[in-house]
Amino acid sequence: MSKNWMRERRQDFYYRNAKRLAYRSRASFKLMQIDDRFDIIREGMTVVDLGAAPGGWLQVAAERVGPKGKVVGVDLQPIEPLEGVRTIRGDVRREEVRQELMELTGGKVDLVLSDMSPNISGHYPLDHARSIELCEMALGFALRVLSPGGSMVVKMFEGNLGNEFLAQVRQYFTTVKRHSPKASRSSSSEVYVVAQGFHGDQGG
């Protein structure tokens, strides 16, 4: 980890604000900005966050759904406990993990979130392809658990496979948008796919 990288991180506006406001990650501001733009989180909702560690998105989701809502996070890594949030340590591709999720949510989910990134190899075409694989996994999970009218937000690395993935998503949602929140670093190739109005069939 270079000294320049550490210096830039300390000087980063969102990193400093996350520390000041006790958010676990600067990524918390990305979800806030996405929600402020698209109104995806409402009081009383049930939200599942895939790849949730260290918990920055969970904090924002819990604040915005309020005490009547449910927030569940899943990750291969442990997540320190958060008030009002349930967490599962496991792989969402495993059936037993999906079953535990269904039990915790009562089988009804209003919003699926995924800020997952692949392990960066430094070879961008490979990293992009792995990013799309994670997006497709999140979409497959969303198709299984979302209630009619539900929403999904997934992080995607831009690249030649992106349009194909967006076409997939449009089969199942009324509105699908690409969005880059201000909190994303200017050097980043990430973009968020915001899908709303789940109807669950290819006929629209």
Active site residues: 155
Residue appearing with tokens 């990524």: 27
Report the C-alpha gap between 204 and 172 in whole angstroms. Answer: 7
Single-letter amino acid, residue 45: M
Residue 112: helix, strand or coil by DSSP?
Answer: strand
Of 199, 200, 180, the residue nearest 190 (C-alpha): 180
Give Cβ neighbours of residue 98 (< 8 Å, ≥ 6 apart): 92, 141, 144
Token couple for 28: 């918390």
CA distances from 78 to 88, 90, 129, 173, 191 (A): 8, 9, 26, 32, 26
Residue 181: helix, strand or coil by DSSP?
Answer: coil
